[in-house]
Amino acid sequence: MTQVIEGKVQKVHLCPDCAKDQGVDIESPVSVTDVLLGLGKESIEPSLNTTSTTCGTCLMSRADFKKTGRLGCSDCYHIFRKDLLQLIKAMHHSTQHVGRAPEKLGERMALRKKMADLETQLEAAIEEERFEEAAKIKLELSELRSSSGAEASS
């Protein structure tokens, strides 16, 4: 049994008799996934209460997944997709990542956006026959491509 006492995590190992004496229900424990999904022994949803779903590759059952909170293989992500989405939503209040991107990825995305904007400006300048401005934009675009390692295209 794991206890948190005054902010410190302590593991206590009890035999079944001592656990019963302490009031610990060892007959029907609630799994970590049940807690995260907001489910208790009394309120398990019918869709999650069934253990009939089993992964054909690793033979992990829904009950095994609920008990361990871990998946057995990559196919489990497809088999237990509905359960995973509920679990992720319970943990993060969303099923879509909205956090920050890694710094280098953010820099590349900003560079790509700037290059796309310059290409749009270049097309507009050529269409409107502003050739001197188009030449400057093309030069700036070419410099960005060469400095980023992207292939230059005309």
Residue pLDDT, tens place only, 116-139? 999 999 999 999 999 999 999 999
Residue 42 or 61, more confident: 61
Percentage of residues of the chain with pLDDT beyond 90 = 29
Cross-strand partners of 11: 2
Q: How many CB atoms within 10 Å of residue 67?
A: 14
In three state form, how does the secondary structure of 127-141 look?
Answer: HCCCHHHHHHHHHHH
Q: Which of 29-38, 77-86, 122-131, 143-152 has the lowest mean pLDDT?
A: 29-38
